[in-house]
Amino acid sequence: MASTGTDETSPWTRPRFLVAAALVLLLVIAGIVLAVLPSNSNGPTPTPSPSSTPTPSQSATPAAAGESKCGLPAGSQTTPAAPPAGATWELFGTFAAPSIEDVGPGVVDPDGVRSCFAHSPTGALLAAINFWAMTGLDLTLGVDPRLTADTPERAALAEQYAAEPPTPSTGVTYQVAGFQFRGVTDDSLVVDVAIRTATGAVGVVPTPLRWEDGDWKLVVPASGDTGTKQLPNLAGFVLWAGV
């Protein structure tokens, strides 16, 4: 859709978004910015640059091999090149999150938080999508130890949340549209989660994860520049959506 080109209509330039901490920026961009940016279906698909896209920390605590903390088997270590089979979907607000038997989530707590995914690329994919679904409704889950890796960045963000609780965005409907993988190792990877808004605009949210304490955890990036951006199309992505 057409852009007016003014700061007043672009969340990219509004101070209340730009001053947010790293995880808040991820969530706000995922939920809002695509709805107001123009779409150009004729151009090449941009790729987040290495300098701006977060990558999982290589200083992570060594992960336990094999089963997850809730006993899910590691399963296939092949990076999915097609939509994973057997998924069921649950709405978090308007965002559908997948679950697959023996892949995850293996734990659903009384407060609705879904965690414990298989130690595999498919498990990481489900963890990434579920993370955005849950934190889209409650930003404070972005510093929850059940979902995020133990890093100084998470501790700093938790302090900020304690001083000024974040407010989730409202009024924008969006869904997962596809995925890509980068930097895959046994214990860390980046899932590029493609999202689509009700307006038809699409974008990518790079999601760095590492295996910690028997589960996939999001690594809160040290910089607010996550590499999240609009895409002209979904070329190169595996298309996958729940609704």
Q: Which pLDDT score, from 0 to 100, does residue 71 have? A: 95
Q: How far apart are CA 177 and CA 9, in angstroms?
A: 25
Answer whether residue 19 shows pLDDT above 70: no
> What is the band of 4 on the pLDDT scale with cuts at 50, 70, 90?
very low
- Quote the Cα angle for 99-103-104, to 5°: 50
Across the range 122-126, mean pLDDT stands at 98
CB burial of 37-70 (b: ≥16 within 10 Å; e: otherwise) equals: bebeeeeeeeebeeeebbbbbeebeebeeeebbe
Q: Which pLDDT score, from 0 to 100, does residue 102 have? A: 95
Across the range 82-92, mean pLDDT stands at 96
Across the range 210-230, mean pLDDT stands at 84
Answer whether residue 20 shows pLDDT above 60: no
Q: Which pLDDT score, from 0 to 100, does residue 66 have? A: 61
Q: Which pLDDT score, from 0 to 100, does residue 88 have? A: 97
Q: How far apart are CA 211 and CA 57, in angstroms?
A: 11
Q: Which pLDDT score, from 0 to 100, does residue 153 have? A: 87
Q: How far apart are CA 10 and CA 1, in angstroms?
A: 13
Q: Which pLDDT score, from 0 to 100, does residue 49 have? A: 33
Q: Which pLDDT score, from 0 to 100, does residue 226 have? A: 61
| Low-confidence winner among 85-99, 141-155, 159-173, 182-196 (lowest mean pLDDT) | 159-173
Contact indicator for 211, 63 with CB cutoff of 8 Å: yes
Q: Tell me the average pLDDT of the chain.
A: 76
